[in-house]
């Protein structure tokens, strides 16, 4: 997952970043409905074979720490989720089914802002969504599935985040 050295100056780690159960516990005190929704996503991944998960949010303002995937209007933030599965088959199936509400787009629904596969730079089991205010990448590497969301930051910051996490997934 994203670490302090992976993010630009001015972004601070949010309380609860670390193991997903800790994050969900902290989030439940800030927004019970959001915590329940994200707990359901985590439970689905566990049903799909996830054995561990981690969540990190870095934000320029604490309001993003309480927002879904760290996305708050006009606040620079970076969020990463990484899930470990027992085997690559489980990870691939979970990635294909979707992670935290984000499923890979069907090949016929691609656009310049929505890319799937090796052209993302993250391997065949990957997709990226790129809009100026929100950028998202979801990919599978080995037994891991990662999701990165960068809001209100430039494309280079987004690419640096995925490039920092990808080699750690082995």
How many domains does one find in the chain? 1
Alpha carbon of 9 to those of 2, 77, 111: distances in Å?
A: 14, 11, 32
Cα separation of 170 and 166, whole Å?
A: 8
Widest Cα–Cα separation across the chain = 41
Q: Which domain holds residue 151?
A: 4-168
* Tens-binned pLDDT, residue by residue, of the chain (170 aa): 999 999 999 999 999 999 999 999 999 999 999 999 999 999 999 999 999 999 999 999 999 999 999 999 999 999 999 999 999 999 999 999 999 999 998 877 778 789 999 999 999 999 999 988 999 999 999 999 999 999 999 999 999 999 999 999 98
pTM across the whole model: 0.94
């Amino acid at each position: 997952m994203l670490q302090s050295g992976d993010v630009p100056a001015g972004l601070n780690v949010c309380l609860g970043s670390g193991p997903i159960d800790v994050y969900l516990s902290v989030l439940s005190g800030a927004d019970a409905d959001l915590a329940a929704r994200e707990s359901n996503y985590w439970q689905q991944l566990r049903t799909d074979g996830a054995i561990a998960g981690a969540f990190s949010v870095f934000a320029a303002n604490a309001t993003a720490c309480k927002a879904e995937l760290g996305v708050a209007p006009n606040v620079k933030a970076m969020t990463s989720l990484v899930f470990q599965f027992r085997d690559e088959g489980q990870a691939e199936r979970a990635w294909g089914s979707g992670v935290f509400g984000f499923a890979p787009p069907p090949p016929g629904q691609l656009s310049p802002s929505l890319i799937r596969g090796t052209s993302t730079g993250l391997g065949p089991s990957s997709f990226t969504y790129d809009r100026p205010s929100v950028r998202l990448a979801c990919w599978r590497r080995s037994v891991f599935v990662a999701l990165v969301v960068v809001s209100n930051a430039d494309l280079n910051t987004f690419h640096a985040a995925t490039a920092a996490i990808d080699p750690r997934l082995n």
